[in-house]
Amino acid sequence: MGGETLAFVEAFPRFLLWTGAAGIMLVIASTIYVLLTPWKELALVKKGNSSAGLALAGAIAGLAIPIASCLASSVTLMDLAIWGIVSLLIQLIVYRLVDVILTDIPKRIEQEEAGAAIVLIAAKLSSALILAAGLWDPALQRF
């Protein structure tokens, strides 16, 4: 076997483990988010409400960004788990704050107001990017 093949054989299980752990974290965080929101996105999406679909898609993408940052900069699996959990908790708190600040969002989403969904998406993705940038340091040597 060549060097590339041996490197692949050695690294692939680690890749699956790390990526799987990040994927599980995303599924758990998305589930918690859906349970915490005052409106029921999945039910609204099943009824054809595109604003609810946009809001949910923005939330899932916003949760994935900090997880991706943790995945890219973690040095151990435990590091990924710790910083991933911290980032997800912060992101869920930020989401609740955004939902509170943007008054009547649940009602506006239910009434399919795309503008409200777009503002919600922008707020969630922006906070996710800022959080992800703060996480971008494997050893957190800045602090």
**Residue 52: is its pLDDT beyond 60?**
yes
pLDDT of 142 reads 47
**Mean local confidence (pLDDT), 135-139:** 68
Domain ranges of the chain: 25-136
Q: How many CB atoms lie within 10 A of CB 106?
A: 18
Number of helices (H), then strands (E), belonging to the chain: the values are 6, 0
Write the pLDDT tens digit of every residue in 67-111: 999 898 888 889 888 988 888 888 888 877 877 787 788 888 889
Q: Which two tokens stand for residue 37?
A: 């929101």
Which residue, 24, 50, 35, 49, is CA-closest to 96? Answer: 35
pLDDT of 39 reads 73
**Residue 141: is its pLDDT beyond 70?**
no
Percentage of the chain exceeding pLDDT 90? 41
| 120 pLDDT tier (thresholds 50, 70, 90) | confident
